[in-house]
Amino acid sequence: MKKSVLLMIMILIVNMMLPVSMALDMNQPYIVLEGTEEIQVMRAGEEGTFKLTLKNETYNTALYMDVELSGEHPFRTDLNNLTQYVPSVEVKKSVKLEFDVEVSPTAQSKLYEFDLVLNYVNAFGTVYKQTRKVYVKIENNTVGPILGAYTTVGPEYVFKPGNSDAIGIKLVNSGTMVAKDIILKISGFGVNNLMLDKDVDTKKVVMIGKESSEFVYFNVVCAPKAKTGIYPYKVEAKYIDEFGGTYEKEFEIYMSVEGNDTSGAELAIKNIKVPEVIVPNEPFEVSCELVNEGDILLEKAEASIEYPSEFTSKSTSKKVVKNLKPGATSIVTFNLMAKSDTKSDSYSGYISVKYIADGDTEDNAQTIQDYVGLIVDGSSGTSKPKLIIENYEYGGEHVLAGEPYNLKLFIKNTSTASDTKNIKVTLSSEENVFTPVDSSSSFFIPKIAAGEIYEHNIQLKTKIDASVKIYPLTIKMVYEDGKGNAYDAQEKPFEESEALSVAVAQPVRLETAELIVPFENYVGQPFYIEQEFYNMGKATMYNTMVKLEGPESSSSSYFVGNFEAGRSEYYSAEAFANEEGTFEGKLVYTFEDALGNVSTHEEPFNYTVVAAPAFDEFGNMDFNMNEEFPMEEPQSGLPVTKIVIGVVALVVVVGVFIIRKRRKKRKLKMELEALDE
């Protein structure tokens, strides 16, 4: 009976050492994105290669992987195959992917964040799905289709009652995208001017290519009772771009009618000349010929030009020609300038001439007009100095919160003709997340010559509690041109602002408690390796995993997942040893920060394995004690040695039971708290 008590105690010890279950799929291959030094930059409307590198961080091979670019990406889905097949990603190996893509011409200039979706199986056929965030920066210099009535074509003479001819409208697409399905409608006809002659007021043009033109004609007849004058006609254009974007424009054209109430004087506006492309803030000339096509002397012809509010006149807008003989020609010129903030588009203006024949009075004055198409390209280079941030560097793909970094700016003067000087550059950021170190937020540049790139370094420090995300850093530049002018013709100061993108990450900080490893273990018997660990940083550790290396174990890995700041976790693994000796092992912690950078922390340890104690045929433990030191035992009852050992074993068992019960309770509590959150 007494011998069986010790046997029961030993059985209890073995039962207490049964494995601890862990809710973890140990067979899942875990795939991460290997970081690059900088975010890839691509241009809207251009073809390129989007590159990624996948790495298998686990000891399980990923098979039959489908990789797809998904979400709000800037790539054209109608032309590009945004999926790839990867037969396998081997253990601890990397695979490079290249997607041949064309960036949509309508993609905005910004940093795009979208999804990389991974579908694969493991060696046992279990299906898994992972989603990773990927980034690409897009620069867009494209201009949508800009449709304008650049000029009108009518008869070589003014319309007279009963005459038939055609009005030709030249449509010009000055944009960098195709205009499609163009619906053109003209209105303004009446019995006092022109009427359609067996024609419709709406015409359709299938397509006008980028920087191309097309003529549209309307057959008209001058009404029998038409009166002398210049008559406006409204032209409406509706069209789409190649991606379905819709546009609407309105123009006015003017046609001259000479009714039966005139004195016979005839003046024509011919050879209107205007630059093919107008650059903002650069003066240009509009000229035309005034031709007396009648047989009567014109006493006075007063020419003027009307232009939209986006333009300004650099000279008098009225020109007077006196005593223009029959058949004679006079050239008049107007000096205009598009304002510095004029957008790329097609604008409408017109030249108007009021003239009086010799012997007539103001009451008999006649007026003619002709259309002037003004096409502005706001993206063209100009003599006005313009500063841009051509490039910038900050030492990698992110900066750490609370730590300083060096920002290198490359500031370019894009003008090819004008220098800049007395340049003040000011930096500002959202929530003051970036502050200069030992300097102010502004610095001074004496001069940047035309076409020159100026390099400047400034040390910034990131706010210690900054969130993990991409922050804008605004660079404002106020400057003068080479002549010391600080304002343009519209009294607007020379200044430019650009927003840079800087990724901020929080440094991750893993702390561990004392590693618990039994001092002595028995061959063939399980033992436990345990450690508590904490996230002592200010940011979440993503895809956190703990692995046991060295001893054999059926539960060597523990996948924590997202390990929030301020939380603690507990790792416990059952290990086995099959031979005696002293061995080395280690716990390996791996985790990612918010930007996908992988970190590793190792906890090495030693463990000793000895032979398990033997039992005799009666169930007594054989201690193999030296016979020179025999212990006196009572004649009856349980031996003293066995009693002492039994008591000690019982205390150990109870202690282990209590400790493990408390640890399980604490771990369960943490899991419940995480579930509540």
- Give the mean model confidence (pLDDT) for residues 627-652: 46
489 DSSP assignment: T
Q: What is the mean pLDDT of the chain?
A: 81
Poorest-pLDDT segment among 41-45, 52-56, 525-529, 593-597? 593-597
Question: Which of the two residues, 555 and 334, has the higher pLDDT score?
Answer: 334
Q: What is the pLDDT of residue 23?
A: 36
How would residue 36 be classed by pLDDT, with cut points 50, 70 and 90? low
Give the Cα separation of 672 and 651 in Å (integer). 31
On the question of pLDDT at 27 being above 90, the answer is no
pLDDT at residue 632, as a whole number: 46
Look at residue 537 in the predicted model and tell me its pLDDT. Answer: 83
Instruction: In whole angstroms, give the CA distance from residue 91 to residue 315.
Output: 77
The answer to whether residue 260 scores a pLDDT higher than 90 is: no
Q: Is the pLDDT of residue 419 over 50?
A: yes
Higher pLDDT among residues 465 and 63, named by residue? 63
Average pLDDT over residues 98-105: 90
pLDDT level of residue 492 (50, 70, 90 thresholds): confident
Please report the sign of the dihedral spanned by the C-alpha atoms of residue 660, residue 661, residue 665, residue 671. Answer: positive
AA identity, residue 572: S
Residue 544 near residue 561 (C-beta atoms within 8 A): yes
**Residue 232 confidence (pLDDT) above 90:** no
Q: What is the predicted pLDDT for the residue at 375? A: 84
With pLDDT > 70 as the criterion, what percentage of the chain qualifies? 82
Q: pLDDT band at residue 535, thresholds of 50, 70 and 90? A: very high
- What CA–CA distance (Å, rounded) separates 146 from 278? 14
Helix (H, G, I), strand (E, B) or coil at 363: helix
CA distance 54 to 522: 43
Q: What is the pTM of this model?
A: 0.39
Q: List pLDDT tens digits, range 155-205.
A: 556 788 888 888 888 888 877 788 999 999 999 988 778 899 999 999 999
What one-character-per-residue DSSP string does 290-308 give?
EEE-SSS-EEEEEEEEE--
Q: Residues 56-77: pLDDT tens digits?
A: 988 899 999 999 999 999 998 8
pLDDT of residue 343: 81
Identify the band that residue 439 occupies on the pLDDT scale cut at 50, 70 and 90. confident
| 1 vs 667, higher pLDDT | 667
Q: Choose between 235 and 556: higher pLDDT.
A: 235
